[in-house]
A = this chain, B = another copy of it.
């Protein structure tokens, strides 16, 4: 049960907003991703907006001016908030009604144009925040390529565990350290061990990594004790964003058994500001991952029609170093992958998560796990990309990277492109590494 393709996806739709129809743009009228913004320097409360072209449209302001009526009005009013949670909690019909109303407002000849000054702010003049108050943050492990690569490094004798093809493996992450795109990430201290014969030591991580992930934002929740069937799982998703699950690999190696990653991950997770709705993604659905011959079929509670289970979303990692920026060198594309390479679909992740009755709540974040594909160039973290540091990347200017150095900046990008459809983008998820504290407080 994916969202329908309708007139809001018509590639011929044009907007009165200047630049919204620019070729190659990320935020045409067919996209309208939601985020939380504040006009820089105003000190006012953040509000919910949608991105269009290089502007942000203040949704609640449109409601306040009487420009959004009918079913959409309550949804628009819920945008007078510093998070998307209220809107997300209203469910898919409300979100769809609002999308339709916003298209009417922003399309050529739409009623918004006369109010442009009050509705729009230049993207350059706004701060963007974490889009939802994340109550629960779950991180999955849904790329079999990633799981196999990492497994072969951490457990060479046993790379892909027997449960992988049955269980959409996931674990709980830390919501409090989710930060907005652009927030500096301080290199953490942690326990690491250089060799099995040496005692561990405590100091700044020397194997800092990013992870390219897709974030699923929960819309309507489910009550505790009431599983969400896979057939209706997508109706509990508001939309997708980008997630960088920063990881300290040396800490992870030492700490992760038997209960999983903890301090190796919970020092920071960066999310992109814009949530692309499931509705906006409707024209870009793709078949489910083609399980190789011999792989088991999903158990019944995870079985879904294959034809549109996937999302044809291209994902990129860009890296720049302090030296590159000082030299005016453009960031380097480190990898490009596809969300179609995930072994488990977004609906399967939701269905599995709730299969024991666990309750999801509006604004919760489910991350996909590192998006890696079959090729070296589609590996979504340095651990895989440099094969545990043994094959360092060579950067423009001759620097090399096994893991991230201080001053390195990672930018994740994502976009959907398909013939006959308006391209839609996810914007960016950006973070720069700040040096570790010089001394540890004691």
Contacts and interface: CB of A to CB of B under 8 A. Distances in A.
A299 B191 contact: yes
Interface string A238-259: 0000000000100100111111
Of A176, A226, A228, A437, most buried by chain B (CB within 10 Å of CB) is A176
A442 interface: yes
Interface stretch (A47-55, A75-83, A194-202): A194-202
A14 to B, nearest CB: 43
A191 B256 CA distance: 23
Nearest to A221: B176
A250 B231 CA distance: 26
A154 B231 CA distance: 35
A359 interface: yes
Interface string A360-384: 1100100000000000000000000
A30 B266 CA distance: 38
A215 interface: no
Contact of A191 (B166, B171, B175, B251): B166
A430 to B, nearest CB: 17
Nearest to A296: B199
A231 B169 CA distance: 37
B356 A267 contact: yes
B191 A266 contact: no
Interface in A156-214: 161-163, 166-167, 169-177, 179, 186, 188-191, 193, 196, 199-202
B301 A440 contact: yes
A28 interface: no
A224 B263 contact: no
Contact of A166 (B175, B189, B199, B440): B199
A155 interface: yes
A133 to B, nearest CB: 9
A407 interface: no
A141 interface: yes
Contact of A167 (B166, B254, B299): B254
A172 B256 CA distance: 12
A175 B359 CA distance: 10
24 contacts: A162-B196, A163-B255, A167-B200, A170-B262, A171-B260, A172-B172, A172-B262, A172-B266, A186-B357, A188-B356, A188-B357, A189-B227, A190-B355, A190-B356, A224-B268, A226-B441, A227-B437, A228-B441, A229-B441, A256-B258, A257-B258, A259-B260, A263-B355, A263-B358
Interface of A: 135-136, 141, 151, 154-155, 161-163, 166-167, 169-177, 179, 186, 188-191, 193, 196, 199-202, 224-229, 231, 248, 251, 254-263, 266-268, 296, 299-301, 352-353, 355-361, 364, 437, 440-442
Given A167-B200, A263-B353, 18 more contacts: A135-B135, A154-B258, A166-B200, A167-B254, A170-B262, A171-B172, A172-B174, A176-B364, A177-B358, A190-B355, A224-B268, A227-B440, A227-B441, A231-B442, A259-B261, A260-B260, A263-B358, A268-B357
Q: What 5 A-B pairs are tightest by C-beta distance, nearest first?
A: A260-B260, A188-B356, A172-B172, A171-B259, A259-B260
